[in-house]
A and B are shown apart, each in its own frame.
Chain A
Amino acid sequence: MFGRVCSQAHLFGRFVKEIVTVVVAICFCACTESDVKRGNVALQIGDFDRAIANFTKVLDVDPANRDARYGLALSYYAVAEDKERLKLPSLELWGRTVSEFRILSRVDSTGKINAAYSTSLFYLAKATLSGNGRANVLHLLDHSIQLDSANYFSHNLRAIVLANRGDVEEAKKIYAYIVTREPKFASAYVNLGNLYWESGDIEQAWDIWSMGHEVLPGDRTLAHWTMVAEDSLKALVEQGEL
């Protein structure tokens, strides 16, 4: 009899313990969610320091908290973008941003973060080149493209890097790929035209620039280079060289 009473008391104790655990977990989640929420609001209104503080607070307790980690990565991203906008050195911040995304990718393998991670890798590559034009950033850009094949900014920079390394043909293929997939990516027309222009193929350069000008008639760069190429072609005709 005593045993039965003890057994029931023991079971009841376990039951209460589990309930308390659930309630504590819910309260903990509620507090955590509250900090994440505050961080998100701060991020949305541009209070990046506060956003970083809130997300960091959550991560101090729960380093694998996906939302807090994503929020922190986005906060560093936003701060770095601000530096970029002000033409201030941003390499360190982009490095930090990429680092957060790298950790985040171990917590979140759903692919939801890939586009943002890819973009931050592009910026890191750009910031690295800004400090050292000879720096090897291809691995960053390859990783960026691997994460998001539709990130044409990374494709474009990769082509520029390859062209400067002398791999002009590969660069041309990349630009052609970009304008095929994203016809309104003006820079690809300009850069591809430039490669033809520099090799003396003015006719081909005109073809590319005028093609871009047709798609983007408001783009002053393309309009200008299309006109330069036209003038050059006219001069060549007049000189009887064409």
Chain B
Amino acid sequence: MSVLADCTRATLLHRGGEAQIFRVWVGNKSYVLKWYAEGCKFDAAVSEVLLHNRIDGIYHLMESGEKQGRPFLVYDFVEGVDSAQLTPMPAVEAVASLRKLVATLKRLSERGVHHGDLNPANVLFGSEGLVTLIDCGIVGPGALAYAAPERLRGKPANEKSDAYSLGMLLYYWITGEALVKASSFDEFVDKAAAIDSVDVTSNLYGMMDCLVASRALRGVEDLAKLEPLWKGLFCENPEDRVEDLDELDELLDIALDGLGGNGVGFAKTHEKFVYDIVQKIGTNGNEGPENAQILLEFASERKTKRNKKSLFAIIFIVALLLTVLGIVLQSNGTSVDETGALMLQKSRALNADGVPNIDEKLDSAVMGVDSLILKSLPVPQIGESE
């Protein structure tokens, strides 16, 4: 049965060009209904995997479908904030969180699924620093600023394209702005194609004062720790990137170590980071007003589905009744027509004994038909049935 079948309340979380996001309640439990814009499509195979598997680090998809030609997803509501609200974040936290994402993507990859749309809005940070990935399996390049060059050329997602997007995500988390900025699709394509020529470390150096002030970087020394990541990820040719997610994880581990992520000081940084998340969750005023219309839209679909189910059930029952009726009638001997035919056949049968009695003299002088004639009149074989 649809999760939306018994929802009683809905609030608008976000309304954007790509989708409308609602929080819906079923009793005390809440879910997210993400209703995409027309033209958006999901890979059915990916939805199928996510519907039937609970994978750590990725949202639990409850339902997927299409309404008014627009796809929708229903998944567990994750109490948290999207990563865009936490930028700029300390590089050490960014790298540590990225490792968590890599672990999640590896679990997905083992099931033959690649995310394909890694961007700040699709990564949620929970109150305990848990990182949850949402919106998996979209068909198309996803958020253009984070898409690998081959994705912009229409290629399907894979570990290497996801790794490229993770690099873009890391840059955004540390700086609070996208590395690639463009105003049109073609411009994104051109800039992605020229990604090898972008000197990321120089970019970061140029923003050093701001980054240090926001505690994203400790100083220039952090640039060297991050440099191998940019070199391993921002390559136009997928072959030049890290081999796979495992290699990326190793690079991240090295970077994390260099950034102090494995030291005693990290605990304090992390505590502060989680505190900020909790504060943001507590003051998260992004829930819009109650939205009864969306309940009606999906409830009516549910009603239609129920009606269809009822119709099929009734048709099935009627067909069953008719079949049983037919079997019962068929199994119970001859019909009235057959009985009539048998009776007539018996009545009409000619028998040599059913002729006039020659011993009785026919009295032709009597006006009218003589009773003797009638007695000897051949009749349908009533005498012979005994």
**Measuring CB to CB, which residues of chain A are less than 8 angstroms from any residue of chain B?**
1, 4, 8, 12, 15, 19, 22-23, 26, 29-30, 33, 36-37, 39-41, 43-44, 67-68, 70-71, 74, 77-78, 81, 84-85, 112-113, 115-116, 119, 122-123, 126, 129-130, 132-135, 151, 153, 156-157, 160-161, 164, 182, 184-187, 190-191, 194, 198, 216, 218-222, 224-225
Selected interface stretch from B15-23, B42-50, B125-133, B376-384: B376-384
Partner pick for B336 among A4, A40, A133, A153, CB 8 A cutoff: A40
Q: A37-B329, A119-B380, A129-B374 are in contact. Are A70 and B367 (CB under 8 A)?
A: no
Q: A8-B303, A186-B355 are in contact. Are A40 and B335 (CB under 8 A)?
A: yes
Enumerate chain B residues within 8 angstroms of A116, measured Cβ to Cβ.
340, 343-344
Q: A26-B325, A164-B364, A184-B350 are in contact. Are A156 and B340 (CB under 8 A)?
A: no
How many residues in B have their beta carbons less than 8 Å from beta carbons of A? 49
Chain A residue, CB-CB nearest to B383: A85
Contact of B332 with A by CB under 8 A: yes
| Assembled-state Cα–Cα distance A74/B354 (Å) | 23
Q: Show 18 residue pairs from A and B whose CB-CB distance is below 8 angstroms, ordered by the A residue.
A: A29-B325, A36-B336, A37-B333, A41-B333, A77-B343, A84-B379, A85-B386, A112-B337, A126-B377, A132-B368, A133-B368, A133-B370, A151-B348, A153-B380, A185-B378, A190-B358, A221-B356, A222-B355
Most central of B314, B369, B378 by chain A CB within 10 Å: B369
Enumerate chain A residues within 8 angstroms of B337, measured Cβ to Cβ.
67, 70, 112
Is A164 a contact partner of B329 (Cβ separation < 8 A)?
Answer: no
| Assembled-state Cα–Cα distance A131/B337 (Å) | 32
Partner pick for B369 among A37, A123, A129, A153, CB 8 A cutoff: A129
Contact of B373 with A by CB under 8 A: yes
Contact of B197 with A by CB under 8 A: no
**Measuring CB to CB, which residues of chain B are less than 8 angstroms from any residue of chain A?**
296, 300, 303, 307, 311, 314, 317-318, 321-322, 325, 329, 332-337, 339-340, 343-344, 347-348, 350, 352, 354-358, 362, 364, 366-371, 373-374, 377-380, 382-383, 385-386
Partner pick for A190 among B300, B336, B356, CB 8 A cutoff: B356
- Say how far B343's CB is from chain A's closest CB, in angstroms: 6
| Assembled-state Cα–Cα distance A4/B332 (Å) | 50
Is A164 a contact partner of B325 (Cβ separation < 8 A)?
Answer: no
Partner pick for A1 among B296, B332, B370, CB 8 A cutoff: B296
Is B318 a contact partner of A133 (Cβ separation < 8 A)?
Answer: no
- Say how far B100's CB is from chain A's closest CB, in angstroms: 44
Is B318 a contact partner of A40 (Cβ separation < 8 A)?
Answer: no
Most central of A85, A151, A156, A221 by chain B CB within 10 Å: A221
- Say how far A9's CB is from chain B's closest CB, in angstroms: 10
- Say how far B7's CB is from chain A's closest CB, in angstroms: 16
| Assembled-state Cα–Cα distance A236/B339 (Å) | 54
Is A115 a contact partner of B358 (Cβ separation < 8 A)?
Answer: no
Q: A84-B382, A116-B343 are in contact. Are A44 and B374 (CB under 8 A)?
A: no
- Say how far B334's CB is from chain A's closest CB, in angstroms: 7
| Assembled-state Cα–Cα distance A239/B361 (Å) | 26
Enumerate chain A residues within 8 angstroms of B334, measured Cβ to Cβ.
40, 44
Is B382 a contact partner of A119 (Cβ separation < 8 A)?
Answer: no
Most central of B335, B336, B337, B368 by chain A CB within 10 Å: B336
Is B339 a contact partner of A126 (Cβ separation < 8 A)?
Answer: no
Is B321 a contact partner of A164 (Cβ separation < 8 A)?
Answer: no
| Assembled-state Cα–Cα distance A22/B47 (Å) | 41
Chain B residue, CB-CB nearest to A11: B307
| Assembled-state Cα–Cα distance A205/B321 (Å) | 67
Enumerate chain A residues within 8 angstroms of B369, measured Cβ to Cβ.
129, 133, 160-161, 164
Partner pick for B333 among A40, A68, A160, CB 8 A cutoff: A40
